[in-house]
C-alpha cells in the first residue's frame, strides 16, 4: 500500500501496519518518517527494537532468528532493516519475501533504503512489501519547492512563517535539507517565543556572508583553491566555526575514504555513490574528489583532522585556525610545498 509522506501521520493514527518500507533520495526525510513510525509503534507498546545494517553479503539468517526468538520482557518488538542499496541479491530477495509474507503479529518490520530505480521497484520483494505493508517514497525537494518545505518546518517548530527568512535559509544552505533543518533549529533556540526578528536575523546573515561550512567543504572538494581561501577568511568572525568545521570535515572525509576504498573493488562510481546515499546535487562534488585523490592521501588528511580535534580539546598544541586553513587548501589541491 502506497502512503504519501504527508499522509503518514494520519495513517499511523488510524492503523499501524505490520510492515513499513521507507525509501527515497532525501536521507533527512526518510529519517523523519522513521521517527514518526517509531513514535506510533511505541504508543502501541512496541518498546524493544533490533536494527540490522544490510548489504549484498548480509546473512539473512540473523533476521529469521530474531523473528523466531521470544522476548522475555516485551512480546512486541520492532525489527529494523537498513538496506545499503536496493541490490540485496537473490538470497536477500527470497528471504525478504518469506519474512514479509509470514510475519508474526507481535513483530513490526521497518525497512529503509535510499533511492531505488524502476527495476528494483518492480522486483518481487518490493511488490511483496507493497502488498503486505505501507510503502513511503520520498522524492528530492526541488528548488521551486524548497521555500515551502522550509516554511512548513518553521511552522512545525512553532516559528512564525517569514518569507524573507525562509529565502535566506534556502539561499545559504543551497538545497541541503539537513543544513536547512539545522538553521531552522538554530532559529528556534534564538527565538523560543516563535517571533523572529527578521531584520536582526538577516543583518546577522549578511555579516557572515552567504557562505556556510557546508559550502566551504564542497568548494574544497571541488578543488577551487582561491574560493576556499576567500570563504575561509570570510567565516573567521564566527568563534564556533573551528569546532563545527573540524567535526563536519572529519565526517565528510571519513565517508569519502570509505567510498574510495569501495571504488577500488567495484570500479563503478555511480554504484558507490548510490550505495552511500549521496544526494544527486552532491554527486558531481563527491565524484570530483574521488577522481582527484586516492584514499591514502585522504587518510593522511583524516589523521591531521584527528590532531586538530585533540588541539581543540586542549590535548595537543596545534594552531587550529592555521591547520584547518592549510588542510582545506590541501583538500582543494594546493600541495603543502606550494603554499
Architecture of the domain delimited by 2-138: 3-Layer(aba) Sandwich (3.40)
C-beta neighbour count of 318 within 10 angstroms: 15
CA angle (154, 158, 159) in 5-degree steps: 50
Burial 273-285 (b: 16+ CB within 10 A, else e): bbbbbbbeebeeb
- Give the Å distances, CA to CA, from 128 to 86, 101, 123: 14, 7, 9
CATH 1.10.8.60 domain position(s) in the chain: 143-207
Q: Judge whether 311 and 323 are in contact, CB under 8 Å.
A: yes
Q: What's the CATH code, domain 143-207? A: 1.10.8.60
pLDDT digits 0-9 by tens, 281-332: 788 999 999 999 988 899 999 999 999 989 988 888 889 999 999 999 999 9
pLDDT digits 0-9 by tens, 139-149: 888 766 888 89
Q: How far apart are CA 63 and CA 75, in angstroms?
A: 16
- What is the pLDDT averaged over residues 221-226? 90
DSSP string of 165-210?
Answer: HHHHHHHHHTT-HHHHHHHHHHHHHH-TTS---HHHHHHHHHHT-S
Please report how the helices 213-222 and 241-266 are oriented relative to each other, as an axis angle in degrees rounded to 10.
40
Q: How confident is the model at residue 200 (pLDDT cuts 50, 70, 90)?
A: confident
Domain 229-330 grouped into CATH 1.20.272.10: yes
The 8 Å CB, 24+ separation contacts for 237-244 are 237/207, 237/208, 238/208, 241/213, 242/312, 242/320, 242/321, 242/324, 243/312, 244/213
CATH 1.20.272.10 domain position(s) in the chain: 229-330
CA angle (271, 247, 276) in 5-degree steps: 10
Q: Residue 209's pLDDT is what?
A: 47
pLDDT digits 0-9 by tens, 73-128: 667 899 999 998 888 989 999 999 999 998 998 999 999 999 898 899 999 999 99
Q: Taking 70 as the threshold, does the pLDDT of residue 165 lie above it? A: yes
Lowest mean pLDDT among 16-25, 37-46, 163-172, 198-207: 198-207
* Ramachandran angles phi, psi of 229, nearest 5°: -60, -45
Q: How confident is the model at residue 206 (pLDDT cuts 50, 70, 90)?
A: low
CATH 3.40.50.300 domain position(s) in the chain: 2-138
More confident residue, 34 or 178: 34
Instruction: Please state, rounded to an integer, the average pLDDT across all residues of the chain.
Output: 87
Amino acid at each position: 500500500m502506497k502512503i504519501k509522506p504527508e499522509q503518514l501521520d494520519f495513517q499511523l493514527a488510524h492503523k499501524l501496519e505490520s510492515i513499513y518500507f521507507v525509501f527515497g533520495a532525501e536521507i533527512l526525510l526518510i529519517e523523519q518518517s522513521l521517527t514518526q513510525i517509531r513514535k506510533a509503534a511505541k504508543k502501541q507498546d512496541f518498546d524493544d527494537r533490533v536494527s540490522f545494517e544490510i548489504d549484498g553479503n548480509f546473512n539473512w539468517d540473523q533476521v529469521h532468528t530474531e523473528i523466531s526468538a521470544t522476548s522475555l520482557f516485551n512480546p512486541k518488538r520492532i525489527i529494523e532493516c537498513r538496506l545499503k542499496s536496493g541490490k540485496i541479491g537473490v538470497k536477500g530477495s527470497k528471504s525478504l519475501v518469506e519474512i514479509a509474507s509470514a510475519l508474526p503479529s507481535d513483530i513490526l518490520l521497518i525497512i529503509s533504503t535510499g533511492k531505488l530505480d524502476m527495476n528494483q521497484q518492480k522486483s518481487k520483494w518490493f511488490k511483496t512489501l507493497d502488498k503486505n505493508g505501507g510503502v513511503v517514497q520520498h522524492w528530492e525537494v526541488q528548488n521551486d519547492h524548497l521555500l515551502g518545505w522550509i516554511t512548513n518546518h518553521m511552522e512545525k517548530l512553532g516559528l512564525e512563517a517569514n518569507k524573507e527568512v525562509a529565502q535566506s535559509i534556502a539561499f545559504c544552505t543551497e538545497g541541503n535539507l539537513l543544513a536547512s533543518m539545522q538553521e531552522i533549529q538554530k532559529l528556534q533556540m534564538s527565538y523560543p517565543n516563535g517571533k523572529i526578528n527578521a531584520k536582526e536575523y538577516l543583518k546577522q546573515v549578511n555579516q557572515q556572508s552567504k557562505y556556510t561550512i557546508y559550502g566551504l567543504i564542497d568548494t574544497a572538494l571541488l578543488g577551487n583553491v582561491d574560493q576556499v581561501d576567500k570563504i575561509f577568511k570570510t567565516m573567521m568572525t564566527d568563534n564556533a566555526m573551528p569546532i563545527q568545521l573540524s567535526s563536519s570535515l572529519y565526517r565528510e572525509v571519513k565517508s569519502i575514504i570509505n567510498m574510495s576504498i569501495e571504488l577500488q573493488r567495484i570500479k563503478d562510481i555511480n554504484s558507490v555513490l548510490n550505495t552511500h546515499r549521496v544526494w544527486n546535487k552532491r554527486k558531481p562534488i563527491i565524484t570530483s574528489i574521488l577522481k582527484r585523490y586516492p584514499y591514502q592521501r585522504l587518510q593522511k588528511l583524516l589523521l591531521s583532522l584527528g590532531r586538530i580535534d585533540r588541539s581543540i580539546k586542549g590535548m595537543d598544541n596545534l594552531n587550529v585556525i592555521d591547520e584547518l586553513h592549510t588542510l582545506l587548501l590541501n583538500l582543494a589541491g594546493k600541495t603543502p610545498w606550494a603554499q
